Amino acid sequence: FFLSLKLENKTKGKPQKQICQVVLDHFEKQYTTELGDTWTSIRDVLTYPLCWQYAVLRNKFSHSAQLENTLRVEGYRPAFQGLLPYLPASLKCYVRRTPGRFPAQKHQAGKLKEYYLLNAASLLPVLALEVKDGEDVLDLCAAPGGKSVAMLQCAYPGNFHCNEYDDLRSIWLKQTIESFIPDPLMNLIMVSKLDGRQIGDLKPELYDKVLVDAPCSNDRSWLFSSDIQQATLRLIQRKELSSLQFQLLRSAIKALRPGGSLVYSTCTLSKAENSDVINLILNTCSNVMPVDISEMAKAVSQEFAFLSGMQQHELLVLPEKGRAWGPMYVAKLKKM
């Protein structure tokens, strides 16, 4: 209670985000059916931003001892302390149990930021992809760039292709990369604005690893849509997202070398955009097989709450109080 009071005092004077009732009603109907009683507690977290948590991803290219001390004083501790199948020592992420946000750093031309604020669950697709030094990597829908930055904390790819089709988001992506990655490394990175559905045909069998962090119905931000007409339109267009996601995955599979791996992720709870898309790919593409990521899920089960009953190649992070991460769906496939 005292904590929430403190947070409310901190945010006094700032207009509080308003719930978009149209979106909430839509989610209420869908997620009560798909998630049952679990939806009630998820809804309580998603609709109450004062209990949201933010992780701090340290930038290995520009870090100071002072940052580590400040994080410790503020009650942060290193995340991912279980025995993960893949956890490079250079990937440093800090979390704390209590809500609230570490101060963000402004973009300054020519100066690298020391850390990136993110939802800790968004590092799970990066950990599942297991990027190694020298591999050719494609981040198919890369903006705003947090996962690209995280992959570069883990390894030095041979070539690193960050793609973002949307004009505004592409500018955002470029700025993120400039804020976190030093000039010498920029030579490894190619930023493009291609239609992700065509990359497989344009660059067949060129990559060892592909991340498809697909455009999806972003449950957190949609719930706070300030424009009701835009929100209504989004909900109508939502039905078409799974078709786009399927096409992006098909393209990603073409872009993969045989033996290469692909990770698909979204930040929605929607089964139509998650398991259904992956099942359709597995049923229609004979050259891919699912990859078991249950060991990774087990290793981070202290940090995250997962939906039970998922298959071994997929996981869904459910936000809950004290572990307000997600939603984040992750699935892994391998090309034969």
Q: Indicate the burial class of 297 (C-beta count within 10 angstroms; 0-12, 13-18, 19 or more).
A: buried
Whether 267 is a known active-site residue: answer yes
H-helix or E-strand spanning residue 329: strand 328-335
Judge contact between 138 and 199, C-beta under 8 A: yes
User: Does the annotation flag 208 for ligand binding?
Assistant: no
Strands (E) across 10-101 are located at: 55-58, 77-78, 93-95
146 is in an annotated binding site: yes
**Which helix (H) or strand (E) is 34 found in, with range?**
helix 21-35
Among 72, 110, 100, which Cα is nearest to 11's? Answer: 100
Q: Is 144 annotated as a binding residue?
A: yes
Question: Does the annotation list 155 as a binding residue?
Answer: no
- Element spanning 23, H or E: helix 21-35
Catalytic pick from 51, 154, 267, 285? 267
Residue 25, annotated as binding a ligand: no
259 annotated as a binding-site residue: no
15 is in an annotated binding site: no
Give the single-character DSSP code of 157: -
Contact 181, 118 (CB under 8 A): no
Please give the backbone phi and psi of residue 74, each rounded to the nearest 5 degrees, phi first. Answer: -80, 0
Tell whether 136 is in a known binding site: no
Contact by Cβ (8 Å): 96, 324: no
What is the 3-state secondary structure of 160-222?
Answer: EEEECCCHHHHHHHHHHHHHHCCHHHHCCEEEECCCCCCHHHHCCCCEEEEEEECCCCCHHHH
Contacts of 259 (CB under 8 A, 6+ apart): 208, 334, 335, 336
Which residues are marked as active site? 267
Residues that constitute the known binding site for S-adenosyl-L-methionine: 141-147, 164, 195, 213
- Point out the annotated binding site: 141-147, 164, 195, 213
